[in-house]
Amino acid sequence: MQNSFVYFIDQLINGLTLGSIYGLIAIGYTMVYGIIGMINFAHGEIFMIGAFISIITFLVLGMVGLSWVPLALLIVLIVTMVLTSVYGWTLERVAYRPLRGSPRLAALITAIGMSIFLQNYVQLLQSARNKPMQPVISGGIELMQDRGYVVTLSYMQMIIIVLTVVLMVVFSLMIAKTSLGRAQRACEQDREMAALVGVNVDQTISVTFVVGAVLASVAGMMFLLYYGVIDFFIGFLAGIKAFTAAVLGGIGSLPGAMLGGLLIGLIEAFWSAYFTVEYKDVATFAILVLVLIFRPTGLLGKPDIEKV
């Protein structure tokens, strides 16, 4: 039997990789909620669309004979980010902006409806079959081994973890230092007052949806490269997990969304490794319930202060 520490390190790497993908999706949930107080349940489908745009772009590049991997990855990343951001902007403009002054229940039902619509839209265009892709990035670094059990940190895992950290830092600085970030924080505190002092609220919310879609598109591309197979339903499952991550970390907090994503990934990896894999989702949601019982705002969330 392999050394328990070596096995633990292997699962730790797997959990951090999966959690990084969840964290990127969760940031989109938490940014939208922070500004307009609405859960965009169609955000998981934006992630799924990003994965499909990535695989289609890879196929097109293969047909034209582009075989240099770094250039191909750069082109796919740019195309995926641009086209997926168009879906994010359209979603906000068509489905959510007209309901901004409506009761939250109406917006919630619309979000669920858009989620179902986008699932079926992709299913009709791409069919319900799984879409496999050959590995683009292979190889890795051997970290340790014991009695034949080898722990390898793959290049793909390194890319996912490093890219997630870089994006987290970039967008945190954007929120803290740029005019867009100041506008977002102003809209989060009071949209009416922000509009009175010159903030373009509609534009700020649209850009927020676009930024969330860009992060989801990167997560979709990373998911495709890491697992090598996608289908039209991956957005629903990943979206639910990412929403759970956002709530666990503290909805409205960017670091909380990333922390929640990493925790969800680690819980799934370790539970699947040491217990029955069929109950990993039960374990995830049970821990979420326990956290919310003792800390209702999540791990890094702040309680809402009601203005009087």
Which pLDDT value is given to residue 303? 67
Total domains present in the chain: 1
Q: Per the structure block, which two tokens stand in for 86?
A: 């168009």
DSSP H helical ranges for 99-142: 104-126
Residue 301 domain flag: no
Give the list of residues 6+ apart from residue 173 with CB closer than 8 angstroms, or none: none
DSSP 229: E
120-170 confidence digits (pLDDT tens): 999 999 998 999 998 899 889 988 887 777 888 999 999 999 999 999 888
In this predicted structure, what is the pLDDT of residue 306?
A: 52
Which residues are CB-contacts of 85 (< 8 A; sequence separation ≥ 6)? 210, 213, 214, 217
Residue 307 lies in a domain: no
CA angle 44/46/51 to nearest 5° reads 100
Give me the phi and psi of 108, to 5 degrees please.
Answer: -65, -45
- Domain assignment present for residue 273? The answer is yes
Which pLDDT does position 103 carry in this prediction? 83
Instruction: Determine which of 34-43, 251-260, 270-279 has the lowest per-residue pLDDT on average.
Output: 34-43
**Both structure tokens of 215:** 């992060």
Is residue 210 assigned to a domain?
Answer: yes
Residue 76 lies in a domain: yes
| CATH assignment of the domain containing 254 | 1.10.3470
Asked whether residue 304 is assigned to any structural domain, the reply reads no
Q: Is residue 223 part of a domain?
A: yes
Residue 282 included in any domain: yes
Q: Are 31 and 212 in contact (CB under 8 A)?
A: yes
Work out the number of other CB atoms within 10 angstroms of the CB of residue 289: 9
pLDDT at 33: 85
pLDDT range class, residue 308, cuts 50, 70, 90: very low
Two tokens at 68? 């240099």
Q: Which domain holds residue 78?
A: 4-294
Confidence of residue 1 (pLDDT cuts 50, 70, 90): very low
DSSP SS3 for 151? strand
